Structures are given as structure tokens and as C-alpha cells.
């Protein structure tokens, strides 16, 4: 391709019908270096501030980068309300398999952190050729449906779930409301990771804002308690929010990523 990150599509089958997943694949320019894999957050896409900064970093350092949009997100086909943790995980695994990545560093933001943790489990279970060599989790939200949404459901939300199968909440990130479906919540219970030790088999770095209104920093501490004690680093940003997209946040993300890349490249 003339443009290393040109938009391409992968056709997968969902609910018995073909569906196109959008992806941008940057080819590695150096041997032996891990490929970066970006997992966006709930309702986000592969063209956000952090994802674009990763693409620039990858290009400057000769690294491969896999970016994609889950079904119903960004430039991919599908309805957002039809998605669940399981279906979006399958989207991610299909793109990773198509890209043929070997050693990889998984980078997940918010819900993407949950999906990255589940992807590590599934890649090992399926004996994939893609081997995680590092995890970088930004304001990670594992089990957010059962730990952060369900406990706060009020009578209105419960009534709407029963009557319509979904409820809406005002979003501070855009004009459109955020939708949570009954299917998403039920499926979230089947994908829980905070119910035992999470064996990643690789170093993990977590960056979490203390002023995060969506994922309390205590949730990051809970995640820490489910990870093996060695090779896990948690950075709490006192004035950090959920996006972690300010210039200083991007610099912090790239510094952490550089350390993981260096460690992964060692024989």
C-alpha cells in the first residue's frame, strides 16, 4: 500500500450475515520489535487522540500498529446497540488473526482495557501465534457493566431495561446519549475478569486518573489486586480525567509504552 495506514476492511460473519470491520494496519520497519495493538473504549474509535499519537509514535520508531473499529463503532458496519463484550472481543481477535501479528503489546483504553485483558486470555486459550509481550491499560474498565453500572441502576433505568431492552444516559463527551443494553449487561457477566487471578504472562502498566468521573481510581486498585504482584506498574495521575488525552497524558503514555517495547525486544 502506498499509505501504510490506509483504511481497509475485513469481512466477518455476525449473526449469519457478512459485516465489514474497518482497520488500519501499519507495517513494522524493524525486525524483532513487537507490534502494537490498539483497543478503543466504549463508543470510541481508532481515530481518537491517543490512537493517532500511537500511530505517529509507531511510524517514528519503525513499529507495526494494528488499529480497528469494533462493529457499530467508527467506520465499521453494524449497529452499536447490537454489540456486546463477547462480539467486540471476537472483532478484535479476527483483526489480530488477519494481521498475523506475533509478539505484541496490547494497549487498551477504558472498555478497551477489559477487552485487552480478555484478548490475552483468549489468545492463550486458542494457542494463537500472537503472543502478548506487554499490556498498557489506560483508565481500564474491566467488568464495568457489573461493577460500575449495575450497582447504580435506579428505578428509571431498570424500568427502561425491562420495557425497551436498553436505557440512555447523557454523555459529557458528545451530543448523543450513551446507550447501555440488557444484552451488554448480561454478556458482561460472562466475561468477568475480576473474579480471580488474571494470568497475563507479560508486564502490565496501568495509568489511571484520580479525577476520573467514569472509572474511579479505586477500580484500578481492584484490578491490581487481581494481577500477579510482579511486573505490574500503576501510575495514578492526580489531576487526570478519564480521557487521559492532554499533551502531558500522551507523553506519559508513550514513555510507558517505550519501556514495554524495550522490555519486549530483549531476548
Position 187 in a domain: no
pLDDT one-digit tens code per residue, 38-94: 999 999 999 999 999 999 999 999 999 999 999 999 999 999 999 999 999 999 999
Of 264, 259, 141, the C-alpha closest to 191 is 141
Position 193 in a domain: no
Position 35 in a domain: yes
Strands (E) located in 89-184: 103-109, 131-138, 166-169, 178-181
pLDDT one-digit tens code per residue, 92-134: 999 999 999 899 999 999 999 999 999 999 999 999 999 999 9
Query: For position 4, what pLDDT does the model report?
Result: 59
Note the pTM of the prediction, 2 decimals: 0.96
Query: For position 15, what pLDDT does the model report?
Result: 85
Determine which of 50-64, 221-235, 248-262 has the lowest per-residue pLDDT on average.
Answer: 221-235
Categorize the per-residue pLDDT at 1 as very low, low, confident or very high, splitting at 50, 70 and 90: very low
Categorize the per-residue pLDDT at 182 as very low, low, confident or very high, splitting at 50, 70 and 90: very high
Position 182 in a domain: no
CATH of residue 81's domain is 3.40.50.1820
Note every long-range contact of 252-259, with CB atoms under 8 Å and residues 24 or more positions apart, other chains counting.
252/207, 253/50, 253/53, 253/136, 253/138, 253/207, 254/53, 254/54, 254/57, 256/136, 256/205, 256/207, 257/36, 257/54, 257/57, 257/105, 257/107, 257/136, 259/205
**What distance lies between CA 45 and its chain's CA centroid?**
10
Is 80 exceeded by the pLDDT of residue 266? no
Domain count, the chain: 1
* For range 159-177, the mean pLDDT: 91
Determine which of 131-135, 152-156, 228-232 has the lowest per-residue pLDDT on average.
Answer: 228-232
% of the chain surpassing 70 pLDDT:
98
Q: Is 254 left (phi over 0), alpha (psi -120 to 50) or beta?
A: alpha
Q: Residue 54: CB partners within 8 Å, gap ≥ 6?
A: 36, 38, 65, 67, 107, 254, 257
Q: Find the farthest-apart pair of alpha carbons in the chain and give their distance in angstroms, rounded.
A: 56
Position 233 in a domain: yes
Categorize the per-residue pLDDT at 186 as very low, low, confident or very high, splitting at 50, 70 and 90: very high
Is 90 exceeded by the pLDDT of residue 175? no
Position 1 in a domain: no
* For range 137-153, the mean pLDDT: 97
Is 50 exceeded by the pLDDT of residue 153? yes
Position 170 in a domain: no
Is 50 exceeded by the pLDDT of residue 221? yes
Q: What is the mean pLDDT of the chain?
A: 95
Position 48 in a domain: yes
* For range 142-169, the mean pLDDT: 96
Query: For position 151, what pLDDT does the model report?
Result: 95
Structural domain of 115 = 7-141+202-265
Amino acid at each position: 500500500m502506498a499509505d501504510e495506514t490506509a483504511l481497509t476492511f475485513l469481512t466477518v460473519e455476525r449473526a449469519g450475515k457478512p459485516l465489514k470491520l474497518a482497520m488500519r494496519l501499519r507495517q513494522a520497519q524493524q525486525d524483532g520489535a513487537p507490534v502494537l495493538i490498539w483497543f478503543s473504549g466504549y463508543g470510541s474509535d481508532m481515530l481518537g487522540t491517543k490512537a493517532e499519537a500511537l500511530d505517529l509514535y509507531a511510524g517514528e520508531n519503525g513499529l507495526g500498529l494494528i488499529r480497528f473499529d469494533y462493529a457499530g463503532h467508527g467506520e465499521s458496519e453494524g449497529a452499536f446497540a447490537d454489540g456486546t463484550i463477547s462480539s467486540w472481543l471476537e472483532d478484535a481477535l479476527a483483526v489480530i488473526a488477519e494481521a498475523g501479528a506475533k509478539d505484541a503489546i496490547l494497549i487498551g483504553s477504558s472498555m478497551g482495557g477489559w477487552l485487552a485483558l480478555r484478548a490475552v486470555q483468549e489468545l492463550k486459550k486458542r494457542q494463537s501465534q500472537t503472543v502478548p509481550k506487554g499490556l498498557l491499560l489506560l483508565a481500564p474498565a474491566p467488568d464495568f457493566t457489573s461493577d460500575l453500572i449495575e450497582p447504580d441502576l435506579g428505578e428509571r433505568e431498570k424500568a427502561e431495561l425491562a420495557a425497551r431492552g436498553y436505557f440512555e444516559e447523557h454523555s459529557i463527551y458528545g451530543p448523543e446519549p450513551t446507550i447501555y443494553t440488557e444484552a451488554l449487561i448480561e454478556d458482561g457477566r460472562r466475561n468477568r475478569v475480576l473474579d480471580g487471578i488474571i494470568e497475563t504472562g507479560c508486564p502490565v502498566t496501568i495509568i489511571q486518573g484520580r479525577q476520573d468521573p467514569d472509572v474511579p481510581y479505586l477500580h484500578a486498585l481492584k484490578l491490581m489486586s487481581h494481577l500477579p504482584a510482579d511486573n505490574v506498574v500503576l501510575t495514578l495521575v492526580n489531576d487526570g480525567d478519564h480521557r487521559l488525552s492532554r499533551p502531558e497524558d500522551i507523553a506519559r503514555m508513550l514513555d510507558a509504552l517505550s519501556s514495554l517495547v524495550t522490555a519486549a525486544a530483549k531476548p
